[in-house]
Amino acid sequence: VFGGIMGVLFIALVENAMIINSVGVFWQGIVVGLVLLFAVSLDRFKTPGRG
């Protein structure tokens, strides 16, 4: 649960930073998607043997 909350806060922080810096909506979606892919990949390789 704690990790999920921290993930949501991190995504919100990244989105707000991109809005403040006037990053286009298209690029915001790409960056958020890459952050999510990185997080899932990191979790998958961090805990081997779970399927």
- pLDDT, tens digit, 9 for 90 and up, residues 15-30: 999 999 999 999 999 9
Residues 6+ apart with CB under 8 A from 23: 31
Q: What are phi and psi of 33, to 5 degrees?
A: -60, -40
More confident of the two residues 47 and 37? 37
Q: Judge if pTM exceeds 0.85.
A: no
Query: What distances in angstroms separate CA 35 from CA 1, 39, 46, 47, 50, one per listed residue?
Result: 19, 6, 16, 19, 22
CA distance 2 to 51: 23
Over 60: is that where the pLDDT of 51 sits?
Answer: no
pLDDT confidence of residue 47: 76
